[in-house]
Each structure stands twice: as structure tokens, then as C-alpha cells.
């Protein structure tokens, strides 16, 4: 009679099972998770021009004749832009523009100093309540001077607006029969970033 | 030791970048005003009419307007000649103007016949050329309006001192009128 040869396979299998049971035991426990979910929604900084008009509505301001003409309008597609057109201007003609800039966002902002950008790219910072000579055509002679007047409160809260005005005065050295162009940019900055 | 230095440098760098980021990180929005200024211009035009009041065509009058200058020539003038002249100035520009200054003088080498010239009439007449109901004047000449100088002169036989007008004389004179935009200060 032949003796059956002993094999180690059952032993190995048993060890594996025991090992798996131990591992299974270590993972098999109840657990409960605590989750934190967050949502951050940023605010919106927005400024737009809501009113814009000039004081030349017939007779030229300070005179008794209607010689020059001033037209101003807000861009219908993009109210960040306002336009002004002065026609038939002459030395000493002066016109005042007034606009309301509204905070159309959710963050309070501060209005910064306006900057005149000329056709040749030159930038000139205006000064509150002071005339600044502007050489519009770059010929070395000032053709006009600009003055801006700040609103009383430069910090504007959402839904509120600030009134801002600009005065343009044509100088003697302006050239007759000439068209000058310019852009004025006014930055507004979130309120807590301005000292 | 080297590791500590490295870590310190790294920490300083992080802090510096943080500060820089804090300083520059802010939101802005911009509004723009786009402008166009067109200046007007001054423009004046002369016109002239002259008439010699004489029974025979002895004296002659002609004129020329060139480069804004009016030349009036009277030749073969004699005593008792009367001359009517109208000088018309029209504002052809876009800005009202006013007569700011004027000067006149005798040309070099000219005889002075003025003592024998008597001004019978010197009158400015305003013309409402633009139809606004206000005729032009030398104080204020609107675009389209005119002002006419009506001048009537008479060549006298004798001057105030009783001297007879010289024969074969020549008088050349010039006049310059300076017009400025109407709002210029005097």
C-alpha cells in the first residue's frame, strides 16, 4: 500500500485564509465621515456712466451768442464709454461736462485720478480743481486746458454713484479749422486697496 | 547649517512674493470719455465798388483784390473830382469777428495829397447776410454778415492853407485792418 504523499498546499491555504481574516478584521469596522464643503463666490467690480451732459445748450457759456456746439452721449452698447464732440470751437470757449459714474458691481470702489490719453499715446494726469495745459496735437503749444472736479465722496458703494465734472477751455494757440481727439480714462479701484 | 540657510532664504522669498502679490492684487474697472474738438476758423472777403463823378472820362479808377489785399488806384485825378467808394467786408468764416485795430500810412516816396482830400461821407452800413435779424458791424461781424464802408471823397482845389493841389503828383497809401474773434479782449 502506497502511502499518500503529504502536501503543503492545505497549510498554505490555511495560512492565507487566516492572514486574510486578520486583515479583514483590521478593516472591518464601522466608520462615519464628517465632510466640509465650501463655496466662495467673488464679488464684482463694475463702473458705468449713467448721466453725461454739457452746459452748452444754446448760447455759449459766458457769452450771448451761440457759436460753438457741444454734443455728448453715452455709448449704448458699452456704458463704460461716454463721448463728447465740440464743434466750431474758438479761443476762450469753455464748456463744462458733468457725469454720474455708478457702481454697478457688488464691491465698493474708489475713483482714481483721470488721465488724458492723446492720439500719439501720451498720457497726462489731471489735477483736481486745477487747469492742466494739454497739447492735443503735439506741436509743443497747448491747445486747450482741462480741469476735473472730484465728487465729494470718492468712495462709492454698490448701487450708488459719484458726480464728476470736466471743464475744457480752448486756448489761443489752438489752430483754426482743426480737429483734435483725446480719450480720458478714469480708473476705479476696490475700496480697500486705496490708502 | 546650510539647510537652515536654504530654508530661511526660501521663507523670505515666499514672504516677499506674498507682500508683492498683496500690493498688486486689486481689482480695477475703467470708464472712458472719448472726445473730439473741432475748431472754427476766421475768414473775411473784400469786395469793392467805385464810381467817379465826372462829366468826362478823365480820371480813372480801378482796383484789384489779391491775397486778401485790396488795391485801389486813382489816376489822372484833378481838382473838384468826387469819388464814391463802397468797400464791403463779409465774414466767410465760422466765428464772429470784430475789428480789433487798423493802421494806415503813406507809401515811401509818396506825395501827400491828403490836405486836398475832403471826406464827404464815411459811414459803416451793416448787412444782415445770414438772416438772423442782426446786421453786421465792425464791433461784431457774424458769419455770413457784411459791413460796408461807404466813403465819398472830394479832391479840393485848395487846401486849408490856400495852396493849390499839385499837378503830376502821386500818392500811395496803405491800410491794414486787423480782425479778431469777437470775444478777444480789447
pLDDT of res. A193: 78
Task: Determine which of B27, B180, B184 to mutate to test the interface with A (most A C-beta atoms within 10 Å).
Answer: B27
* Cβ separation A185–B96 shorter than 8 A: no
List Cβ neighbours of A105 (8 Å cut-off, separation of 6 or more). Answer: A43, A44, A45, A46, A47, A158, B29
The fraction of chain A above a pLDDT of 70, given in percent, is 90
More confident residue, A46 or B21: A46
Query: What mean pLDDT do residues A71-75 have?
Result: 95
Q: Which positions in chain B touch A107 (Cβ < 8 Å)?
A: 27
Query: What mean pLDDT do residues A17-45 have?
Result: 78
pLDDT of res. A130: 94
Of B39, B183, B184, the CB nearest to A178: B39
Could you please report the per-residue DSSP string of B47-110?
Answer: EEEEEEE-SSS-SEEEEEEETTEEEEEEES--TT-EEEEEEEEEE-SSS-EEEEEEEEEEPTT-
Nearest by Cα to A96 from A52, A65, A139: A52
SS3 A99: strand
pLDDT of res. A132: 97
Query: What mean pLDDT do residues A89-116 have?
Result: 94
* Cβ separation B32–A63 shorter than 8 A: no
Chain B positions with Cβ closer than 8 Å to A? 26-42, 94-96, 142, 181-184
* Cβ separation A89–B27 shorter than 8 A: no
pLDDT at A4 over 60: no
pTM: 0.76
**Across the A/B interface, how many CB contacts are shorter than 8 Å?**
135
Give A 138-177 residues with CB within 8 A of chain B.
143-144, 166, 168, 170, 174-177
pLDDT of res. A26: 60
Amino acid at each position: 500500500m502506497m502511502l499518500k504523499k503529504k502536501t503543503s498546499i492545505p497549510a498554505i491555504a490555511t495560512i492565507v485564509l487566516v492572514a486574510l481574516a486578520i486583515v479583514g478584521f483590521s478593516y472591518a469596522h464601522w466608520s462615519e465621515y464628517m465632510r466640509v464643503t465650501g463655496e466662495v463666490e467673488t464679488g464684482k467690480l463694475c463702473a458705468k456712466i449713467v448721466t453725461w451732459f454739457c452746459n452748452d445748450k444754446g448760447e455759449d457759456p459766458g457769452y450771448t451768442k451761440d457759436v460753438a456746439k457741444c454734443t455728448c452721449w453715452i455709448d449704448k452698447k458699452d456704458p463704460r464709454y461716454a463721448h463728447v464732440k465740440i464743434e466750431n470751437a474758438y479761443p476762450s470757449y469753455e464748456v463744462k461736462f458733468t457725469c454720474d459714474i455708478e457702481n454697478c458691481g457688488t464691491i465698493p470702489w474708489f475713483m482714481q485720478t483721470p488721465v488724458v490719453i492723446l492720439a500719439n499715446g501720451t498720457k497726462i494726469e489731471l489735477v483736481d480743481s486745477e487747469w492742466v495745459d494739454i497739447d492735443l496735437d503735439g506741436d509743443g503749444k497747448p491747445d486747450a486746458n482741462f480741469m476735473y472736479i472730484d465728487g465729494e465722496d470718492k468712495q462709492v458703494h454698490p448701487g450708488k454713484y459719484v458726480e464728476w465734472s470736466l471743464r475744457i477751455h480752448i486756448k489761443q494757440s489752438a489752430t483754426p479749422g482743426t480737429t483734435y481727439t483725446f480719450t480720458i480714462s478714469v480708473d476705479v479701484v476696490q475700496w480697500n486697496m486705496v490708502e | 547649517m546650510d539647510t537652515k540657510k536654504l530654508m530661511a532664504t526660501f521663507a523670505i522669498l515666499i514672504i516677499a512674493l506674498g507682500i508683492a502679490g498683496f500690493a498688486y492684487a486689486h481689482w480695477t474697472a475703467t470708464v472712458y470719455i472719448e472726445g473730439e474738438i473741432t475748431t472754427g476758423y476766421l475768414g473775411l472777403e473784400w469786395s469793392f465798388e467805385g464810381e467817379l463823378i465826372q462829366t468826362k472820362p478823365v480820371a480813372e479808377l480801378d482796383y484789384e483784390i489779391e491775397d486778401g489785399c485790396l488795391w485801389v488806384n486813382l489816376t489822372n485825378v484833378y481838382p473838384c473830382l468826387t469819388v464814391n467808394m463802397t468797400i464791403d467786408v463779409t465774414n466767410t468764416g465760422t466765428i464772429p469777428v470784430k475789428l480789433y485795430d487798423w493802421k494806415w500810412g503813406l507809401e515811401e516816396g509818396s506825395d501827400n495829397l491828403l490836405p486836398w482830400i475832403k471826406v464827404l461821407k464815411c459811414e459803416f452800413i451793416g448787412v444782415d447776410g445770414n438772416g438772423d435779424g442782426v446786421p453786421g458791424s465792425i464791433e461784431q461781424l457774424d458769419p455770413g454778415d457784411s459791413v460796408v464802408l461807404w466813403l465819398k471823397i472830394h479832391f479840393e482845389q485848395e487846401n486849408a492853407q490856400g495852396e493849390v493841389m499839385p499837378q503830376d503828383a502821386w500818392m500811395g497809401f496803405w491800410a491794414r485792418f486787423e480782425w479778431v474773434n469777437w470775444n478777444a479782449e480789447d
